[in-house]
Amino acid sequence: MQQLFGLNKREVAEILRRKDINPTTQRIEIAYLLLQRPQHLSAEEILQKLNKEYEQVSQATIYNTLRLFVDKGVIRELVFSPDRIYYDSHIMPHHHFIDVETGKIYDIPLESLPMKDINISGIDAEVLEVSMMIKGRLNQPS
Amino acid sequence: MQQLFGLNKREVAEILRRKDINPTTQRIEIAYLLLQRPQHLSAEEILQKLNKEYEQVSQATIYNTLRLFVDKGVIRELVFSPDRIYYDSHIMPHHHFIDVETGKIYDIPLESLPMKDINISGIDAEVLEVSMMIKGRLNQPS
DNA sequence: TTGCGTGCAAACGCTTTGCATATTA
DNA sequence: TAATATGCAAAGCGTTTGCACGCAA
């Protein structure tokens, strides 16, 4: 199973409906932006991009909607820094690399980081999310 | 190599000195509390614990000192939730399990989560930190 | 006595929220 | 027309900071 990106607004609305979200104009705009491609955006970045040409969505609605989307599983919340939350439009399992120089987040496909025989001994729990974060310094392709 | 806990204040001062930190009264108090055992404390929790009996360390100093300790490698910063930063007194590599019910953080020893053949293909970088976080719901030992 | 550390209080910045208005079913 | 969503502005809250004072080398 793979995730689709670059959908049109009608298709985005359908995705929201399937996730039990009333597809209002603002919610479609936000989801349409996010689901263009796999990406990591902060609330502020989303606000700027959406309202670049004219005021489309208020700050309060952005925040309310992002939280709703996370709860409903449309996007994933990334908490790597205390500064701001990033929202990941790519919800299939994968890991992240953060370049400490730029703060940019890169996806790491699961296959690139094979983990065999995972077995969390000593902890008896229902696992909801596994997330691997790697911080480092990108080597410049000079 | 293993990390020592439960040191006395003289030993704590020595550890700070070795990490290029001037061991002042307040810094020793904070480090002494943290290095009692492997634990995860927020700034607020540290403030409360230290000043329980009488005012020992101000809030500003707690925050300044925690940041200093992180920079000098005395403790490790855990950013798992946007709410607050937790400080991990256990700096040997290990992973974390977060109980979504209580917010409590549990250590997962490396051996419990064996990862063979790690190979981050596609990314050419100097790796500074690897951190695996598992969110879940603890099964009650009813 | 000079630089570093501490602490008060105010500022900061991201996020949340109360409430009135607007929109939708 | 009842329920839900939006948006403004203010509040909230963890963290940082400016600055004056204190302390130690």
Q: What is the pLDDT of residues B97-117, one digit of tens each?
A: 999 888 889 998 877 665 544
Q: Of residues 77 to 106 in chain A, which lie within 7 A of strand C by their beta carbon?
A: 83-85
Q: What are phi and psi of B77, to 5 degrees?
A: -90, 135
Q: Which helix (H) or strand (E) segment is A75 a member of?
A: none
What's the N-to-C CA distance of chain B in angstroms? 37
Q: Of residues 25 to 54 in chain A, which lie within 7 A of strand D by their beta carbon?
A: 25-27
Query: Nearest chain B Cα to A141, which residue?
Result: B124
Contact between A140 and B133 (Cβ < 8 Å) = no
Contact between A56 and A29 (Cβ < 8 Å) = yes
Which CATH class for the A9-88 domain? Answer: mainly alpha
Contact between B135 and B98 (Cβ < 8 Å) = yes
In angstroms, the CA of A30 and the C1' of C22 are apart by 19
Q: State how far the Cα of B75 lies from the Cα of B39, in Å rounded to an integer.
A: 10
Sheet holding A86-88, edge to edge: A40-42, A86-88, A76-78
Average pLDDT over residues A21-35: 97
Which residues of chain A are in CATH 1.10.10.10 domains? 9-88
Q: Which helix (H) or strand (E) segment is B99 a member of?
A: strand B95-99
pTM of the model: 0.91
Q: Which helix (H) or strand (E) segment is A135 a member of?
A: strand A125-138
Residue A117 scores a pLDDT above 80? no
Q: Which helix (H) or strand (E) segment is B12 a member of?
A: helix B9-18
Contact between B23 and B69 (Cβ < 8 Å) = no
The confidence score (pLDDT) of residue A126 equals 85
* pLDDT, greater one: B112 or A65: A65
- Residue written as tokens 């996730």? A19
